[in-house]
Amino acid sequence: MEFEANSGARGPYESPIRREQAEMTRQRITDAARTLFLKRGYARTSLKQVAAEAGVSDQTIYAVFRKKSGLLQAIMDEMDLAAGVEQSMADIGAAHGDPERQLVHFVAYDRRLFEREGDNLLIMRNAGSSEPELAETLRTGRERGRQVHLRIFAIWESDGHLVESLNAETAADLYHAVSSMDSFDYLVHERGWTADEWEQETFRVLCGALLRSAKER
């Protein structure tokens, strides 16, 4: 990141207290939006209603999020943070050269996301079938996750870790088919698996489907 030389001009002073207040306001808005989106549906919730629920003005929401899809994206970013995406990426980077360990971290992150936010994600996903803006935001979020997997799987491919018949693209497709919100919902909520069992078996299946054994490398 580059910084311009100091020209002597100064922007408005922003104190730590003001930053904290701004963050609290932002959180109040996203909490209100999440509640209303789940209760009323994304399409039937207006920014005016979100403002009333959060106790802020319409102008505040427009200033912070610009539009409703921006607010939804902020909620999805919060879901990632709640599931520990930053620590997960750090762990995956630290496990470079050890694909099994990296796969452990990928599946563990999915487990945390589905366990903590699965109900919200399923409601949003189902609502997206009739709400194009919501569907596009969800698709963008899913593609962002896929690109992370592709970068790592491309390294696995070049290092000879992937099963011989696979490339990075196909490996990413298989990964998302197995470690999915639907599989977690079905096996844990319908079939009675524990989240630990889902995580262990998902890793076992993916390890066998994606990675060559140590003897084959």
pLDDT tops 90 at residue 17: no
Exposed/middle/buried for 198, CB within 10 Å: 0-12, 13-18, 19+?
buried
3-state DSSP assignment of residue 162: strand
pLDDT in tens, 176-198: 999 998 999 999 999 999 999 99
DSSP 188: I
Q: What is the CATH number of domain 16-75?
A: 1.10.10.60
pLDDT in tens, 51-63: 999 999 999 999 9
pLDDT, mean over the chain: 86
pLDDT at 116: 86
Give the C-alpha distances (Å, rounded to integers) separating 148 from 18, 88, 92, 181, 193.
Answer: 35, 12, 11, 17, 28
Q: Where are the domains of the chain?
A: 16-75, 83-216
pLDDT at 12: 52
Confidence of residue 216 (pLDDT cuts 50, 70, 90): low
pLDDT in tens, 69-87: 888 888 888 887 877 888 9
Confidence of residue 199 (pLDDT cuts 50, 70, 90): very high
Architecture of domain 83-216: Orthogonal Bundle (1.10)
Rounded CA separation 74/12 (Å): 25
